[in-house]
Amino acid sequence: MNGAATRCLHLASVAKIPSRSHSKHKKSQSQPPRLRLRCCSRDTSTRIIPMAAAKKAKAIRVHELGGPEVMRWEEVEVEDPKEGEIRIRTTAIGVNFIDVYYRKGVYAAPALPFTPGREAVGVVTAVGPGLTGRKVGDVVAYAGNPMGSYAQEQVLPASVAVPVPPSVDHKEAASVMLKGMTAHVLLRRVFKVESGHTVLVHAAAGGVGSLLCQWASALGATVIGTVSTEEKAAQATQDGCHHVIMYTKEDVVTRVREITSGKGVNVVYDSVGKDTYKASVECLASRGCLVSFGQSSGLPDPIPMSDLASKSLFLTRPSLMHYTAIRDELLESAGEVFANVANGVLRVRVNHTYPLSEAARAHADLESRKTSGSIVLIPDTDS
């Protein structure tokens, strides 16, 4: 345990909270340059110069920070790929809570307006000059950078795209890339879960939570999951949770102490944040590790070091991007995810699909906790 826990000592920040309000963004900064999506709306404030022979498509655009209603369905122009790039026709798009964070301004987008989304599957429609190893017709997926997957077409660096095995459905691949690689990093690299460990997974019926429970159980760990409803409790049990706690009816800390005979758990995977931090710390065993990888309930209050000192605890705030920036590590992580989907270790639940044009409704349902499993957007075929 000590060796595994030591891996959690490094602290990482996912993204900085914006230091200025969105109103101070220069309107001439139209979108992240790597996406090169050009807005074709007649809003003169965007001051977009039409491009000759640019390919037209539609995308979700965020012109101001706020609720789901700020997402607009607009026509854009997509440039041809340059050296080292590919263009894809998107077939399925994964929805993740990080998309909500950028839309609300919890994390700072490079500029306004922007196209959200960090996960998609698509078919290669164009290859940049001199690029080898990619060809038109290839099915690829990506997760992480660059932002901009909520679009019918997108230009990507070829280095971030990974091949999708024919055995994996496009919707499954789009729903599992970001979440699956997150689960891989959390379970195998941030804290290496082994047989005999006891783990606590908050939001066990969520997209990442579901995969964490399945994978940790397959590794031989005892899995405790927290959920809000009977329906989600049933799903968590199917996903390998040995003990399910309904936090709406039971005290999490009390139940964990009962389940572990007072010892606590070796690691807590916490994507909730503000509402769960204190319980997460109390549930840990001596020298346990709190892996905080999300904040769906808001940012936790400042954490005093004394909270960790009482049991020599470890705390980490990892970012997937820091573990997949190297191409070989990206391929390894994605490869393990797709292999575990193919061999049945990971059951991908695409419980909700929405047309891309209705991304606002998908976000509203996600934030109100009306969803379980994964959400996928399907690009509208009409232009």
pLDDT mean over 156-166: 95
- Asked if residue 248 is part of any domain, the answer here is yes
pLDDT of residue 298: 77
Q: Are residues 161 and 211 in the same domain?
A: no
d(CA 321, CA 181) in angstroms, rounded, equals 10
328 pLDDT higher than 90: yes
State pLDDT tens for residues 78-128: 999 999 999 999 999 999 888 999 999 989 998 999 999 999 999 999 999
Asked if 68 and 104 sit in the same domain, the reply is: yes
Query: In terms of domains, do 109 and 173 share one?
Result: yes
202 and 153 inside one domain: no
Task: Specify whether 279 is located in the same domain as 354.
Answer: no
Residues 260 and 298 in one domain: yes
Average pLDDT, stretch 253-269?
98
DSSP 107-155: S--SSSSB---SEEEEEEEEE-TT--S--TT-EEEEESSSS--SBSEEE
275 within a domain of the structure (yes/no): yes
Last residue of a domain, one of 277, 296, 317: 317
Domain extent, residue 263, equals 191-317
- What's the total number of domains in the chain? 2
Q: Does residue 40 belong to any structural domain of this protein? A: no
Percent of the chain having pLDDT more than 90? 70
Residue 158 sits in the same domain as residue 258: no
